[in-house]
Structure 1
Amino acid sequence: MRQAISGLPRPFWWLWTSTLISRLGSFVAPFLVLYLTTERGYSASFAGLVTALFGAGGAASSVVGGMLADRVGRRVTLLVAHVAAAGLTAALGFADQPLLIAVLACAAGAASSASRPVVQTVMADLVPPADRVRAFSLYYWAVNIGFGLAAASAGFISSYGYRWLFLIEAAATLLAALVIATRLPETMTDPADTGGEGVDEKSTGLRMVLRDRPFLAAVGLSFLLIVVFQQAAAGRPVAMDRDGLTAAQYGLVISLNGILIVALQLPLGRRLEGLNPGRLLVLASLLCGGGFGLNAFAGGAAAYAIAVVVWTLGEIVHSPVNMGLITRFSPSTARGRYQGIHALSWATATMAAPLCAGIVIDRFGPDTLWATCTVLGVCAAIGYWALLLRKPDRHRHTPHPTSATVGLRRARRHPPRSTPPHTPPTPRTTSSEE
């Protein structure tokens, strides 16, 4: 644990703390359908529509949040998104008209998701390349810890009224905003100090991102695996029900994923540093596809649990290494836009996975779905091999704004009059691929 958390800058930990706080209060999204059908008495179709609008708003705002992070600043974008999310979430808990509920759900989903690509952008700004895989492992660990505890406590809180879920989430979001406002500095890179990255500082649109073919290839491969990972919530419940497993057995199986992430993410994240990211992503893709493929041979809870262990190991490896890869492709002056496009692919995959799972299971059965997951995992592994291993490494390396370089910028802009300016030596940093 000491090795996993050592050496990271203090602003990173304040950002990590704000993420954990907001995730500990993430009650609304997983309980929105139950709230609308049980508490409000709406139909399942209306609840599904509202949930889809919540996700659609988040998908669109991911790109907008990334663009704003590059245009107006990371810190301002995070604060506006958090404050807006808190107000809209609280208002959604008091809405009683169907149209108003739908509009507020879409807006709340947009505000809640707008901050996600910005958080990863700030982490990339703060953490040197050699430590980013470990930093993203800590981030992913915090997300899962917070979400797991929130899901476990939401049922108890809802017994006192579902409205408390909305109010507590709004309060947690405001507390996270307070941490950002008081402790997190602005990390947006000045285009004049990028060291010749070749990025047009006036270009704040998406054209440069959509022309970056290697980056889009990485996003596409990530999309394939996210579709597979989402089958844990989309296709697996149906398959386990058809195999006659009880709700208690299903609960034990799904809890294994969170337990493994909490137990293994930090130690494995530490050991992933310095290893070849291409090989790690190929391995993660094969573990993911193979793990879900094992579901085709499962007939009981134990076999499903073995499958969970296999693909969870793939998830533990893939998530931080993939986030580090996306960051390496991103110029420092355009990180927000790059992270926004990646977040959009994640949101799109999250919405597409249940639809695809339902169609495949209804027409061809669960075994075909698991075979498809295996094929997608193998395709992703081949894609990562072709992108990262077949040819020499061509990834862009962006300069990291360390405290030394920040001090150097200030010295250049405001040199002392009495003594000549002194330029401190720039520390040498090594990236994971070196």
Structure 2
Amino acid sequence: MIKTASKRYINNFKGFSREIWILAIVTLINRAGTMVLPFLSKYLKEDLHFSLGEVGWIMVSFGCGSMLGSWLGGKLADKVGFYKIMIFSLFTSGLMFFGLQYITSFWGLCFGMFAIMTVADMFRPAMFVSVGAYATPETRTRAMTLIRLAVNLGFGLGPAVGGLIIMAIGYKGLFWVDGATCITAIVIFWIMVKEKTKSPYIDKKHPDEILTHSVLHDKPFWIFLFTCFATAMIFFQLFTTLPLYHHDQFGLTEFQTGLFMTTNGVMIFFLEMPLVSVFERKNVHKVKIILAGSILMAVAFFVLMLDFWIGSLIISLLLLTVGEMFAFPFSNAFAIGRAPKGHEGRYMALYTMSFSLAHITSSKIGMEIIDRFGYRANWLFMGILGIIAALAALYLYNFLHREPKKT
């Protein structure tokens, strides 16, 4: 029985091109190397002795750089090709991480973080375009899921290794390792993957192409972006307000909160790819799955209003994780599939920017609501936002059926 289950799980990973596997390995190395990020606030406050307000402004600079980098990366991927942008982004940001450790002034770090994230996040939309180029239409959603698994696994490994490096040689070691992994990852990619400027799969023979010639005039895509922003904003509560709630409401330790985070990662690792494969075999419309994911995320936060029962944390986490597995892989695939030929970078830029914006606003809005009105008010707000996202997805689904060509 275990052998059969293992075989079925492994079968979900078949059919990918060599380039997709290399891209997943490169992504894993790169994400595992971004171990500066989880410790950045702690480094700024404890090592450089900035106030919480100053740390907040440096993190805002970080987020603004991420937004600009996502936009530039997508636009330049269409102009000069994703391959060149990926190599430039990781190699240059690797060198910049080496230099960042020597900047210790407030304004220097504001400009430094803005600059490094502008360069570093040019990689993300270009990487998504590369998946569209190296994967067939039949494997594109699963390929996006494979990259997500690599990202999640990398983020899981990074903080643990980062903690050991801090204990051994201090925070400065993180910058050296982060820079080195960026450069190592992209050198592997450059040696093993040859440039492909255009995908043979994105053409007029396939129904994934739509009639619009500019993303600015693609109304359904903007509705989709709002759904992405809203679901990402409520999901990011898992890493911002929920750890505080665990301690304040139920007295959980950092270790116990860490177990919740680990549960989320383990569920994604073992269940996301099989779920995606099932939905693909049944040919379920991507927007329907995103809609279901939005509803599950909303319910996850309504459950948290049962703040007298610790079991609500477990039920909420399960619902939130399943909602994530429904919404995010298929939103990746919808975005790249929606893009007309030659506009893939612009579409993926806006897609990644919606997540960057959600990352910036999620913590700030959540903290403000909690500070003024308490945790229950925040859970209610996030739940209602999830329902609004689901209604937007439902409107999008109906809108798509009125188009001459459907995505």
- Give 1:358 deviation, angstroms: 1.6
Alignment partner, residue 401 of structure 2: 392
CA distance in 1, matches of 2:270, 2:252: 26
- Give 1:194 deviation, angstroms: 4.6
Alignment partner, residue 262 of structure 1: 269
1:116 aligns with one of 114, 117, 124: 124
- Give 1:267 deviation, angstroms: 2.0
Counterpart check, 1:231 vs 2:237: yes
- Give 1:170 deviation, angstroms: 0.6
Structure 1 residues 263-302: aligned runs within 5 Å:
263-273=270-280, 274-299=283-308, 301-302=310-311
CA distance in 2, matches of 1:153, 1:176: 17
Structure 1 residues 23-422: aligned runs within 5 Å:
23-159=31-167, 160-189=169-198, 194-195=203-204, 208-247=214-253, 248-273=255-280, 274-299=283-308, 301-389=310-398, 392=401, 394=403
CA distance in 1, matches of 2:130, 2:96: 24
Amino acid in the other structure paired with 1:379: I
Alignment partner, residue 429 of structure 1: none
Q: In the TM superposition, what whole-angstrom CA distance separates every residue of 1:231-258 from its partner, at most 9, and x where no partner exists?
A: 1122223333331422233222233212
- Give 1:81 deviation, angstroms: 0.5
CA distance in 2, matches of 1:219, 1:161: 40
Task: Report % sequence identity.
Answer: 26
Is this contact kept in 2: 1:249–1:301, CA < 8 A? Answer: no
- Give 1:393 deviation, angstroms: 6.7
Q: In the TM superposition, what whole-angstrom CA distance separates every residue of 1:179-202 from its partner, at most 9, and x where no partner exists?
A: 2211223233289x95496889xx
Is this contact kept in 2: 1:70–1:188, CA < 8 A? Answer: no
Residue segments in structure 2 that go unaligned for 5+ positions in a row: 1-8
Larger Rg: 1
2:23 aligns with one of 15, 18, 33: 15
- Give 1:391 deviation, angstroms: 5.6
Once superposed, which parts of structure 1, at least 4 consecutive aligned residues long, lie more than 3 Å away? Answer: 193-200, 298-302, 393-397
Is this contact kept in 1: 2:66–2:121, CA < 8 A? Answer: yes
Q: Structure 2 length as normaliser, TM-score?
A: 0.90
- Give 1:298 deviation, angstroms: 3.4
Q: RMSD of the TM alignment (CA)?
A: 2.3
Q: In the TM superposition, what whole-angstrom CA distance separates every residue of 1:73-93 from its partner, at most 9, and x where no partner exists?
A: 111011110111101111112
- Give 1:23 deviation, angstroms: 0.7
Is this contact kept in 1: 2:220–2:399, CA < 8 A? Answer: no
Is this contact kept in 1: 2:66–2:356, CA < 8 A? Answer: yes
Q: In the TM superposition, what whole-angstrom CA distance separates every residue of 1:62-104 from its partner, at most 9, and x where no partner exists?
A: 0000000000111101111011110111111222333322222
Are the structure 2 counterparts of residues 183 and 393 from structure 1 closer, same or farther at C-alpha, using a change threshold of 3 Å? farther
Amino acid in the other structure paired with 2:215: V
Amino acid in the other structure paired with 1:171: A
Residue segments in structure 1 that go unaligned for 5+ positions in a row: 398-432
Q: In the TM superposition, what whole-angstrom CA distance separates every residue of 1:321-343 from its partner, at most 9, and x where no partner exists?
A: 11111112101311001000111
Amino acid in the other structure paired with 1:368: A
Query: Which is worse superposed, 340-349 or 229-238?
Result: 229-238
CA distance in 2, matches of 1:319, 1:216: 16
Amino acid in the other structure paired with 2:365: C
- Give 1:178 deviation, angstroms: 0.5
CA distance in 1, matches of 2:89, 2:211: 27
Q: Structure 1 length as normaliser, TM-score?
A: 0.85
Is this contact kept in 1: 2:293–2:324, CA < 8 A? Answer: yes
CA distance in 2, matches of 1:127, 1:74: 14
CA distance in 2, matches of 1:377, 1:151: 29
Alignment partner, residue 418 of structure 1: none
Amino acid in the other structure paired with 2:224: A
